[in-house]
């Protein structure tokens, strides 16, 4: 349960209009509580369908894949065969009610599946009126992420794809079976699965895709179809009345509107479908501009949520074109910039920098890894006929086939290869991200540095931002070297949630043990650091960028942190100027990737071994350096690559006491990439504490 202090802080970031709206919403919820039993009754079809009350069929089709022709087995491409084998293997496990999500692998969910349950905690969730449930209270409801994930019904799309390719009726029947059990266990308005509009929106999109993929199977009988349509109508109605507003406008509003738009476009003879479609279309057309910087970056300052909302915009855009309700050119041009932002970030190799929150969210399961950025860049390549997108993708990808049809493969092939594959330094000035780069993006000796000089997050809450001003990441030899450690958790472990959002969990400077910005709640910030880029000088071998932030100006002796990053070929110089009058404790953090092997090589010198290459880190001589690896007290030396997943890694912390203005200079030098480097042997060497 939230404290009174939390409610006070939350009210402070709301406008008077939003407060009035929330009061009205609370009164509406109380009335809904009284009426929920009445609304659970299965209605006659004429109550939710136009005309004679008969379903008229889909408004568009999601796939032109022929049923059961096993086309991927008829090619000479081993990749296609792996896609087919992987898809059917996953579908088999889903028919057995076994799913992978977050840190749980092959988790059995019961027979029938128990939908109102946190399967990690083995904790059932209360079956009471949805608006009365506090989804943040893990003792009452379990961790909502673990309750909601299987209820998004991504797995139904996997089953639908498997039926479409194989023609095996068991997969289509499993879709019907899981929908039937879900409807029985989730009457309208009751339980966690009606609690959050974003969850309803995601479920609607997956229902549309799954139902259309199995459309010709005959497994959905008339009674089940009636119950499904009744529930879909209530899903849309519920979202439409409660769209996120005010300080809560973020990815949730985009997901809600995308779900309504896709469902209202597909089920076109639902009562009010035209109105729902028009309203949701207007929201999406507005929010792609309101929540995306002109440079293409999502305003939540989170790479994870950038990919998440991009998938909503793609799904809605495809539905719009297929149903003859296309979005204007401005929508598609902003979406193209979103793809471009991801593509440039991908040039350094391996994973993208994990700036801001990330909870592994995705919209549709249409490949082996729905959060694989390169697969989505392949989708973008075909959508926008971009040769650079094709190069960033690295090849054709399964999601292209499922989203854009079987003819998209030929379209992808006809896109010419780019003439220039050099990774150039790039500035995304609107969002505040600056990339210092050298080399070709397919070359093993390329270097990519990403500097964060942007705002904390979006809007009054900045809910998914981290206190990471002037932090940076480094990729070399195609691998992560210095990383943003990620997110790990939202609700279950408050101390870990606090750590991964904190300044000390990022490659930047901490003054007097304090965060740059003030945490007021799990998704709420108070005082915020404001970062500004002072100078941007790109070059053919990297370049120089200078930024500063004011996050420590609230100290009794105000402090300004100014940082310069200078990449000159294979050497990166990091200069930190701490501008102050009095004494301050200064800490500089360097978080290394979990696969890096780190060895001391003299005072304040470290050799880092990664992917058949070496990197030397030389820290300022005035620093006293301590190394952490998987420490729980204090929490330090961890990397999280997924929700509720973390691995021990090495973090170097340099400390000193500054008296007045203080300058620290640290250097990172990358060696030559060599295929003869004995990396496997070096991997056996464990990190030593200094």
Q: What is the CATH number of the domain that holds 55?
A: 1.50.10.100
Side-chain half-sphere exposure of 116, counting CA atoms within 13 A: 22
Could you report the per-residue pLDDT of 480-538, keeping only the tens digit for each?
A: 999 999 999 999 999 999 999 999 999 999 999 999 999 999 999 999 999 999 999 99
Q: Quick check: 360 and 447 in contact, CB under 8 A?
A: no
Q: Which two tokens stand for residue 375?
A: 């697969």
Do 293 and 433 belong together in one domain? no
Report how far apart, in Å, the C-alpha atoms of 18 and of each of 5, 157, 288, 313, 457 are: 19, 37, 22, 26, 20
Residue 515 domain flag: yes
Strand order in the sheet with 571-579: 531-539, 542-552, 559-568, 571-579, 662-670, 613-618, 605-610, 597-600
| Shared-domain flag, residues 533 and 664 | yes
Q: 379 — phi, psi (to 5°)?
A: -60, -45
The radius of gyration of the chain from alpha carbons, rounded to an integer in Å, stands at 26
Q: Quickly count helices (H) and strands (E) in the chain.
A: 19, 27
Q: Residues 356, 430: one domain?
A: no
Q: How many residues are given for the chain?
A: 690
Residues 191 and 111 in one domain: yes
Q: Which two tokens stand for residue 31?
A: 């009335």
pLDDT digits over 54-68, tens only?
898 999 999 998 898
Residue 340 tokens, joined = 């471009």
Phi, psi of 597, rounded to the nearest 5 degrees: -105, 125
Look at residues 404, 312, 321, 318 and name the one whose alpha carbon lies nearest to residue 364: 312
| Residue 655 predicted with pLDDT over 60 | yes
Measure the CA–CA gap between 355 and 493, rounded to whole angstroms: 20
CA end-to-end span of the chain: 44
CATH of the domain at 433: 2.70.98.70
Tell me which DSSP letter residue 247 carries. G
How many Å apart are CA 33 and CA 391, to the nearest integer?
Answer: 54
Same domain membership, residue 339 and residue 437: no
Buried b (16+ CB within 10 A) or exposed e, 238-257: bbbebbbebbbbbbbbbbbb
- Residue that is last in its domain, among 350, 371, 392: 371
Cβ-proximal residues to 35 (8 Å cutoff; 6+ apart), any chain: none
Residue with tokens 């949730």: 252
Give the three-state DSSP class for 522.
coil
The residue out of 352, 371, 390 marking a domain boundary is 371
pLDDT digits (tens, 9 = 90+) for 123-163: 999 999 999 999 999 999 999 999 999 999 999 999 999 99
| Rounded Cα distance, 478 and 425, in Å | 16
Closest CA relative to residue 522, chosen from 58, 143, 203: 143
How far apart are alpha carbons 43 and 234 in whole angstroms?
11
320 token code pair: 């719009």
Token couple for 406: 């079987």
Q: Are the beta carbons of 375 and 79 closer than 8 angstroms?
A: no
In a domain, residue 12? The reply is: no
pLDDT in tens, 366-392: 998 988 999 999 999 999 999 999 999
Report the largest interatomic distance among the alpha carbons of the chain, rounded to a whole angstrom. Answer: 83
Domain total of the chain: 2
Q: pLDDT confidence of 2, banded at 50, 70, 90?
A: low
Domain holding 446, by residue range, is 426-683
Asked if residue 22 belongs to a domain, the reply is: no
**Is 464 found in the same domain as 351?**
no
pLDDT in tens, 398-410: 999 999 998 999 9
Mean pLDDT within 288-312 = 98
pLDDT band for position 683 (cuts 50, 70, 90):
very low
pLDDT at 608: 96
Residue 410 falls inside a structural domain:
no
3-state secondary structure of 54: coil
DSSP per-residue letters across 111-145: TTT--SEETTTTEEPP-SBGGG--TT-HHHH--HH
| 433 phi and psi angles, rounded to 5 deg | -105, 130
The span from the CA of 665 to the CA of 663, in Å, is 7
pLDDT value at residue 25: 74
- Bond preceding residue 283 cis, omega within 30 of 0: no
Can you say how many angstroms the Cα of residue 327 is from the centroid of all Cα atoms in its chain? 24
Q: If you write DSSP's letter for every residue of 45-110 in order, what string do you get?
A: GGGTBSTTS-----SS-S--PPTT--GGGSSS-HHHHHHHHHHHHHHHHHHTTEEEETTEEEEE-T
pLDDT above 80 (res 259): yes
pLDDT on residue 687: 39
| CB distance 546 to 537 below 8 Å | no
pLDDT at 622 over 50: yes
Is pLDDT above 90 for 628? yes
Of the listed ranges 34-48, 196-210, 304-318, 658-672, the one predicted with least confidence: 34-48
Q: Are residues 191 and 63 in the same domain?
A: yes
* 355 shares its domain with 460: no
Give the domain-ending residue among 371, 392, 408.
371
pLDDT at 1: 59
* 141 and 69 assigned to the same domain: yes
Is 17 inside any structural domain? no
Inside any domain, residue 656: yes
Instruction: For residue 438, give every residue at least 6 positions away whose Cβ sits within 8 Å of its Cβ, in sequence order, or none.
Output: 423, 446, 447, 540, 541, 542, 567, 569
Same domain as 46, residue 122: yes
Which among 488, 486, 485, 498 has a CA at the least distance from the CA of 644? 488
Q: What confidence score (pLDDT) does residue 38 get?
A: 55
pLDDT bin (cut points 50, 70, 90) of residue 686 is very low
CB atoms within 10 A of CB 471: 26
Residues 440 and 337 both lie in one domain: no
Same domain, 650 and 571: yes
**Coil/strand/helix, residue 615:** strand
From residue 555, how far is each of 480, 517, 655 by CA, in Å? 35, 12, 19
Contacting residues for 19 by C-beta, under 8 A, at least 6 apart: 11
Would you list the DSSP string of 572-607?
EEEEEEEE-SSEEEEEEEEEB-TT-EEEE-STTEEE
Q: Which helix or strand (DSSP H or E) is residue 308 part of? A: helix 303-322
* Averaged pLDDT for residues 667-676: 74
Residue 29 lies in a domain: no
From CA 466, how far away is CA 497, in angstroms rounded? 11
Summarised one tens digit per residue, pLDDT across range 582-610 is 999 999 999 999 999 999 999 999 999 99
Residue 416 lies in a domain: no
Grouping H, G, I as helix, E, B as strand and the rest as coil, residue 292 is strand
């Amino acid at each position: 349960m939230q404290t009174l202090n939390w409610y006070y802080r939350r009210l402070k970031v709301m406008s008077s209009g939003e407060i009035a709206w929330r009061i009205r919403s609370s009164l509406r919820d109380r009335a809904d509580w009284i009426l929920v039993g009445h609304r659970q009754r299965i209605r006659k079809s004429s109550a939710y369908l136009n005309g004679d009350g008969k379903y008229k069929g889909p408004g568009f089709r999601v796939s032109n894949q022929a049923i059961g022709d096993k086309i991927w087995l008829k090619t000479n491409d081993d990749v296609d065969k792996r896609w087919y084998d992987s898809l059917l293997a996953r579908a088999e496990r889903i028919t057995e009610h076994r799913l992978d999500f977050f840190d749980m692998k092959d988790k059995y969910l019961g027979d029938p599946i128990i939908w109102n349950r946190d399967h990690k905690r083995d904790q059932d969730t209360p079956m009471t009126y949805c608006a009365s449930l506090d989804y943040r209270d893990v003792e009452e409801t379990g961790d909502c992420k673990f309750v909601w994930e299987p209820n998004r019904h991504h797995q139904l799309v996997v089953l639908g794809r498997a039926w479409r390719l194989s023609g095996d009726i068991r997969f289509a029947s499993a879709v019907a079976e899981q929908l039937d059990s879900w409807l029985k266990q989730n009457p309208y308005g009751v339980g966690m699965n009606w609690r959050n509009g974003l969850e309803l929106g995601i479920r609607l999109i997956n229902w549309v895709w799954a139902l259309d993929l199995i459309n010709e199977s005959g497994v959905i009988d008339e009674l089940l179809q009636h119950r499904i349509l009744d529930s879909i109508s209530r899903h849309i109605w519920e979202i439409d009345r409660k769209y996120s507003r005010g300080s809560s406008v973020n990815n949730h509003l985009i997901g809600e509107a995308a779900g309504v738009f896709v469902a209202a476009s597909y089920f076109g003879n639902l009562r009010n479908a035209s109105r729902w479609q028009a309203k949701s279309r207007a929201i999406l057309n507005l929010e792609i501009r309101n929540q995306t910087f002109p440079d293409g970056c999502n305003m939540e300052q989170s790479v994870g949520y950038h990919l998440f909302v991009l998938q909503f915009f793609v799904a809605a855009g495809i539905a719009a074109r297929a149903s003859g309700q296309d979005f204007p050119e401005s929508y598609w041009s902003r979406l193209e910039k979103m793809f471009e932002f991801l593509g440039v970030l991908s040039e350094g190799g391996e994973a993208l920098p994990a700036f801001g929150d990330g909870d592994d969210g995705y919209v549709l399961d249409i490949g082996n890894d729905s959060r694989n950025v390169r697969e989505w860049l392949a989708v973008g390549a075909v959508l926008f006929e971009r040769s650079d997108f094709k190069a960033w993708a690295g090849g054709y990808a399964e999601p292209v086939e499922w989203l854009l049809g079987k003819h998209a493969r030929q379209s992808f092939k006809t896109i010419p290869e780019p003439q220039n594959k050099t990774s150039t330094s790039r500035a995304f000035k609107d969002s505040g991200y600056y990339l210092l780069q050298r080399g070709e993006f397919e070359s093993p000796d390329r270097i990519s540095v990403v500097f964060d000089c942007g705002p904390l997050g979006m809007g009054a809450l900045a809910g998914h931002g981290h206190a990471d001003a002037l932090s940076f990441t480094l990729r070399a030899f195609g691998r992560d070297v210095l990383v943003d450690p990620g997110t790990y958790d939202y609700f279950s472990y408050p101390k870990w949630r606090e750590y991964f959002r904190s300044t000390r969990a990022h490659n930047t400077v901490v003054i007097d043990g304090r965060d740059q910005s003030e945490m007021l709640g799990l998704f709420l910030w108070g005082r915020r650091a404001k970062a500004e880029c002072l100078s941007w000088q790109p070059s053919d071998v990297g370049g120089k960028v200078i930024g500063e932030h004011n996050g420590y100006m609230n100290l009794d002796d105000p402090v300004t942190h100014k940082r310069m990053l200078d990449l000159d070929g294979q050497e990166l110089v990091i200069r930190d100027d701490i501008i102050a009058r009095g004494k301050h404790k200064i800490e500089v953090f360097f978080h290394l990737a979990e696969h890096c092997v780190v060895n001391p090589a003299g005072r304040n010198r470290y050799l880092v071994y990664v992917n058949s290459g070496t990197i030397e880190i030389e820290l300022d001589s005035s620093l006293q350096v301590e190394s952490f690896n998987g420490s729980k007290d204090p929490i330090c030396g961890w990397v999280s690559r997924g929700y509720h997943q973390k691995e021990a890694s090495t973090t170097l912390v340099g400390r000193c006491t500054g008296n007045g203005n203080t300058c620290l200079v640290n250097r990172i030098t990358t060696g030559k990439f060599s295929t003869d480097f004995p990396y496997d042997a070096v991997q056996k060497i464990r990190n030593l504490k200094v």
